[in-house]
Amino acid sequence: MEAAVARARLEELLAELEASAAVVQHAGEDAGERPTLDQHPADSGSNLADADREEATLEIVLAQQERVREALARLDAGTYGQCVDCGRELPDARLEVRPEASRCVDCQQRRESLR
User: Does residue 51 surpass a pLDDT of 70?
Assistant: yes
pLDDT for residue 89: 97
- Distance, CA of 43 to CA of 70 (rounded, Å): 40
Cα separations in angstroms, 84 against 35, 61, 97? 50, 22, 18
pLDDT at 34: 54
* pTM of this structure: 0.78
Report the pLDDT value the prediction gives residue 30, as an integer from 0 to 100.
61
- Burial per residue of 3-14, b for 16 or more beta-carbon CB atoms within 10 angstroms, e otherwise: eeebbebbeebb
Number of H helices, E strands in the chain: 4, 0
Would you say residue 79 has pLDDT above 90?
A: yes
